[in-house]
Structure 1
């Protein structure tokens, strides 16, 4: 009797708690992606950790970047880079200059694309090149890189308007004049 009552309760709960709609269920069944891929697609929220111990929270969905810290206030560039990359190193003075010159309306988020980088080596690198903008580290960087067009090469940068709309991507070095013109006119 107890088994029957338990089975009946589970069945009733399943009927009332099942999928929100038939369309949602059909979308999941029809999708040929794995559960892991579907989960990655549904989670577009990122909490990046900076070398300074701060968090940068972003949501990126349908080419729109949402952040309570930046939306409506600043143009945002997300830059995937590495310490061993000569073009990445070449961009640092350009980014530093634009970051300082337009600090009131431009933000750069340097997303380190290196696994298990020694914190002391990274600190020395940041000091050597006098990097002014925030650098993020950790596994979240790689999850975000996967979502950003599956970043494979660095540098790769993505520019978003003050409203969070995707503007342009740069594969390789950023064109300083092009970027500065956009910042100046917006």
Structure 2
């Protein structure tokens, strides 16, 4: 009996701590053998669910949020159907509350055809206290960052706009908090 319980808990924890694939079942890779130069977009305007524009620029190893100068940014790629994405929301809410003066969390929705009304219901249900973006630019940003392949994926950006850490899958808030404190000590 103990073996069955242990095996069940192990399988459950593996499923819980791995991320969700951000591609839908019908989506397939469009790789070709031709060597065409592809221009990757570097400037983005992300539209939040409350109709604010967040101006973002990718420049080398920097992700510059022009609207949040000298702030730590936690860029969170997620989907409303993803269980690990939902599970991490309370941790993100707590981090935003605890580090409100230094940290801005920006969640980037990687779902198509979701109205702001539906996303705002999700925000209210989970008591989200940080910015959530919902636009086609979200996918362009994902591509500009090398295409986010698994969700949740989070990128911690220091006050100088340099990528400090990338997290794939659900991450304990203590780990993120250690990294935030390291940035604040710089």
Same fold, judged at TM 0.5 (above): yes
Cα deviation, 1:87-140, whole Å, max 9, x if unaligned, reads: 000110000000011010011110001001133221211100000000001100
Match of 1:33 among 24, 32, 36: 36
Cα deviation, 1:33-60, whole Å, max 9, x if unaligned, reads: 24xx22x2xx311100000000000111
Aligned to 1:50: 48
* SS in structure 2 of the partner of residue 164 of structure 1: coil
Contiguous gaps of at least 5 residues in structure 2:
1-34
* SS in structure 2 of the partner of residue 182 of structure 1: helix
Aligned to 2:145: 148
Aligned mates of 1:161, 1:178 — CA distance in 2 = 15
C-alpha contact (below 8 Å) 2:54/2:66 kept by paired residues:
no
Whether 1:167 and 2:167 are equivalent positions in the alignment is: no
Cα deviation for residue 149 of structure 1 reads 2.2
Aligned to 2:98: 101
Aligned to 2:64: 66
Aligned mates of 1:175, 1:149 — CA distance in 2 = 24
- Write 1 or 2 for the structure with the bigger share of helix: 1
Aligned to 1:27: none
Whether 1:128 and 2:128 are equivalent positions in the alignment is: no
Aligned mates of 1:170, 1:139 — CA distance in 2 = 23
* SS in structure 2 of the partner of residue 181 of structure 1: helix
Cα deviation for residue 148 of structure 1 reads 1.7
* SS in structure 1 of the partner of residue 56 of structure 2: strand
Larger Rg: 1
**Structure with higher RCO (Cα < 8 A, 6+ apart):** 2
> Structure 1 length as normaliser, TM-score?
0.76
Aligned mates of 2:59, 2:36 — CA distance in 1 = 19
Match of 1:89 among 78, 86, 111: 86
